[in-house]
Amino acid sequence: MLKRVNHIAIAVPDLAAAASRYRDLGVATTEPQDLPEHGVRIVFVEFENTKIELLEPLGPNSPIAAFLERQPAGGIHHICFDVDDISAAIGTATENGIRLLGGGEPKIGAHGHPVVFAHPKDFQGTLVEFEEN
């Protein structure tokens, strides 16, 4: 079911400063992108073998705002895995007792592909995202 790591997401209090840190080290970044349905503004840091997704809240009701209240300096928020078929992944996950957030209904993610999140308690305290790719 899981193909590869797509990206590791890091919540940040200042997206521009965080992206600049990586660019200063010679790493390419994407332009900021607002994802209002997820409550975030993002930038991808693009490495040869994976990506880092920097997440900044789009407002006080963003789940990232709540995360940053607990960890004001930011930190790792989730890890994303590629899957071939989001519907099949949802079925396999639920058959294996993995609880999916949002009622298990996929949303369109930053790459324009369907995504769904699994409960952190089912992955050793780590929020996990599955992305159809």
Q: Is 129 a catalytic residue?
A: yes
- H runs (alpha helix) in the chain: 15-24, 63-70, 86-95
Rg, Å, the chain Cα set: 15
Query: Given this model, what pLDDT does residue 34 score?
Result: 97
Half-sphere exposure of 37 (CA within 13 A, CB side): 9
- Interval 95-133: pLDDT, tens: 999 999 999 999 999 999 999 999 999 999 999 999 999
Query: Given this model, what pLDDT does residue 106 score?
Result: 97
- Interval 27-83: pLDDT, tens: 999 999 999 999 999 999 999 999 999 999 999 999 999 999 999 999 999 999 999
What backbone torsions phi and psi does residue 127 show, to the nearest 5 degrees? -70, 130
Is residue 129 within 8 A of residue 79, CB to CB? The reply is yes
Pick the CATH number of 2-132 from 3.40.50.300, 3.10.180.10, 3.40.140.10, 3.60.20.10: 3.10.180.10
Query: Given this model, what pLDDT does residue 54 score?
Result: 98
The domain locations on the chain are: 2-132
Q: Which one of 53, 129, 131, 132 is the catalytic residue? A: 129
Across residues 5-14, what is the average pLDDT?
Answer: 98
Query: Given this model, what pLDDT does residue 100 score?
Result: 98
